[in-house]
A = this chain, B = another copy of it.
Amino acid sequence: MPRQDLEYPKETHNTVKRYNHLAEYSLRTIHSIINSTPLLHVSFNTPNSPYPATIPMIGQMGSFDRPSADLGDVLDLYIHGYISARLTNLTRTAEGLPVTVSASTVDGLLLSLTPFSHGYNFRSAVLFGHAAVVTDPAEKLYAMELITNKVVPNRWNESRSPPTAGEMAATAVMRVKIDTGSAKVRTGPPSDDKGDMESEEVREKVWVGTVPVYTVVGEPKVAEYNLAKEVPKTLVEWRKEANQDAKGYAELAAVKSLAPKKKKEDE
């Protein structure tokens, strides 16, 4: 489905000021970083504390009104985690609770000539929005299926569903209506300053390159109480594909700049 590449509006709190040639505001890029990061960090303010609270949560982009929506569309973020009475109370305002949701993945170690140019190849995204606890049972069910299938594709159908009334009551899900967001993606080999690049002595002494870093989904370990005959095919196939993709991306990003065209103009 060809559609325009939507971007989040640039506002004070989401505008990337440094390394801004790495910045992306494309919904598709931001949403796909959120979806591919297993744990999101959700930060919000609480009364009487100078510190923002930060909770690791599982989350996935979705649209209850239009479940077939594309990743580049306007979507909500559904999150599941420890939703305390305190947090629930904080969301009880007309607008919901302002939250900042972050996701980061390291794709490689950048080993340059000088320590000061060391760093990572990475993908990071941040979303700003208003969170509310989902109360409509149909929307809650939609969100729970979405989040379960984030852990392993199709797991909702391959485990004991639908949920019991007790499970529904005991589980809370939040919907974050997105205000805006941004992403930063760094790929390619390390880079160094002119002074060091011109010194043969330094270049002969210091090894420079990128070390790809990626996540591996390992060999499933059956639980003692399992009675099912075999590991689900979906899991076997997804593992293989996920592992190939992760390694492939990190290795490609290690040697090649995959930055969007924008980058060229900035250089």
Interface residues, chain A, CB within 8 Å of chain B? Answer: 12-13, 17-19, 38-39, 41, 43-46, 48-54, 56, 58, 82, 84, 98-100, 102, 104, 106, 108-116, 118-120, 122, 124, 126, 128, 144-145, 148, 151-152, 155-156, 158-161, 163-164, 167, 170-171, 189-190, 192, 195-197, 200, 202-232, 235, 239, 247, 250-251, 254-255
Contact = CB atoms under 8 A, between A and B. Distances in A.
Contact of A212 (B211, B219, B231): B219
A212 B216 CA distance: 8
A-side interface mostly: mixed
The 10 closest A-B pairs by CB, nearest first: A212-B218, A52-B52, A50-B98, A207-B228, A203-B227, A115-B148, A43-B43, A221-B254, A209-B222, A43-B52
Nearest to A221: B254
B239 A226 contact: no
B84 A17 contact: yes
16 contacts: A13-B49, A18-B82, A39-B122, A41-B102, A45-B52, A109-B152, A114-B161, A118-B155, A118-B159, A119-B151, A197-B225, A204-B227, A207-B230, A210-B221, A211-B239, A213-B216
Given A17-B84, A222-B209, A115 B51 contact: no
A156 B114 CA distance: 8
B223 A163 contact: no
A218 B203 contact: no
A250 B225 CA distance: 20
